[in-house]
Amino acid sequence: MSINTISSRVKSNYKKKLTHTTLRRLVQISFATFILIIAVIHFAGGESSTNLTASAEAFCPFGGLETLYKYLTSAGAYVPHTHLSNLVIAAAVLITALLLRSAFCGWICPLGFIQDLLRGLTRRLEKRYVPIRRFFRTLNQRGQPAWNFLDKYLRYAKYVVLVWAVTGAAIYGVMVFKDYDPWSALINITEWTFTPGIVVLAVTLVASLFIERPWCRYFCPLGAASGLLGKFSPVQIQRNADACTNCKICTKACPMGLDVHTATKITSPDCNSCLVCVDDCPREGALSVQIGFPVK
């Protein structure tokens, strides 16, 4: 084998591994690490510390949506546990959604990343161990019809959570959703306080082993707001029917459970723009990211 052949094979393998999914993972790891460092520093410093140690809560974009009404109506006051940084990050998430769809959810959100990791773990176990593979196959065969029915309606729950959390904070001046929020439960885990959010977090993590991104699909209020604004974005994934072989690999790969193989344009507010479908598509040019007219 000539050196040129080896070199081209190495290049080809290198190119295959360095997909945009690698970039996405690096971005997700960076943001999750940042939040972890912030949480550890804040825990180590404590509330009574003379040094300023921001809590991880100060970096939660949904806190910005919850405090927005109070900020606008009470001369710049905030609901407890929120700061100006929450409003700024919420603005960043929503403007990003307007320009580039719900990319925050697919590329940045640490809770989404944790759910990705857990489902990835069971996928690996499925490939490696036959009994686990059989278990998941049986579960899919028996539970699929009922689950498809539930899935259709559960997807609306996140809009109910969004309305409840935002109007609740506006009416009562406190974050009514905080005690049920799995992200809040996770970043405040060192406080050792039992809240319903701990249960929601545990259920989310266990469900992530079986379903991809269960919290994002059904209950995340930030994803709901971001997805709705993303409908106005000029960026969308498009399927070229001429190049598509209807192999359904894209639909099977979609972490949000969308029917990519039947759509011409992916305009669902549930799409988190992770581009896993584009990455997994075996046909060059069948799926691509395009800039087009929004709301079409």
Partner 1 sequence: MKINPFVYGTLVVVVFLGIILGFQGAGIWSTSGKVDVSGKAIEPSKTDVNTIKGWMTLEQVSTTFDIPVAEILAGFNLPADTPGTTALKDLESDTFDITALRTWLQGKQQP
Q: State the nearest-atom distance from the C-beta of 295 to partner 1, in Å.
A: 18
Nearest Cα neighbor of 213 from 282, 280, 287, 154 is: 154
The sign of the torsion formed by the CA atoms of 27, 30, 32, 35 equals negative
The contact mask relative to partner 1 for 235-274 (x = CB under 8 A, - = no) is: x-------------------------------------x-
Taking contact as CB under 8 A, which single stretch among the options 3-11, 100-108, 148-156, 252-260 is the one that binds partner 1?
100-108
Taking contact as CB under 8 A, which single stretch among the options 3-11, 52-60, 117-125, 206-214 is the one that binds partner 1?
52-60
Directed axis angle between helix 84-100 and helix 61-73, to 10°? 110
Nearest Cα neighbor of 21 from 281, 239, 212 is: 281
Interface with partner 1, residue 27, by CB under 8 A:
yes
Q: State the nearest-atom distance from the C-beta of 47 to partner 1, in Å.
A: 4
User: With b meaning 16 or more CB within 10 Å and e meaning fewer, what string describes 189-212?
Assistant: eeeeeebebbebbeebbebbeebb
Nearest Cα neighbor of 248 from 207, 282, 200 is: 282
Q: State the nearest-atom distance from the C-beta of 83 to partner 1, in Å.
A: 5
Interface with partner 1, residue 107, by CB under 8 A:
yes
Q: How many residues bind partner 1 (CB under 8 A)?
A: 47
Using CB under 8 A, which residues numbered 163 to 192 contact partner 1? 172-174
The count of other CB atoms within 10 Å of the CB of residue 53 is 17
Q: Where are the beta strands (DSSP E) in 136-286?
A: 235-239, 265-266
**Tokens matching residue 215:** 């919290």
Residues 257, 277: contact at Cβ < 8 Å?
Answer: no
Question: Which position among 95, 171, 199, 206 is part of the footprint of partner 1 (CB under 8 A)?
Answer: 95
Q: How far apart are the first and last CA of the chain?
A: 53
Question: Which position among 7, 13, 33, 74 is part of the footprint of partner 1 (CB under 8 A)?
Answer: 74
Q: Which is nearer to partner 1, 155 or 178 (CB)?
A: 178
Q: State the nearest-atom distance from the C-beta of 23 to partner 1, in Å.
A: 5
Q: State the nearest-atom distance from the C-beta of 257 to partner 1, in Å.
A: 21
Residue numbers at the binding site for partner 1 (CB under 8 A)? 19-20, 23-24, 27, 47-48, 52-55, 58-59, 74, 77-81, 83-85, 88-89, 91-93, 95-96, 99-100, 103-104, 107-108, 172-174, 235, 273, 275, 278-279, 288-291
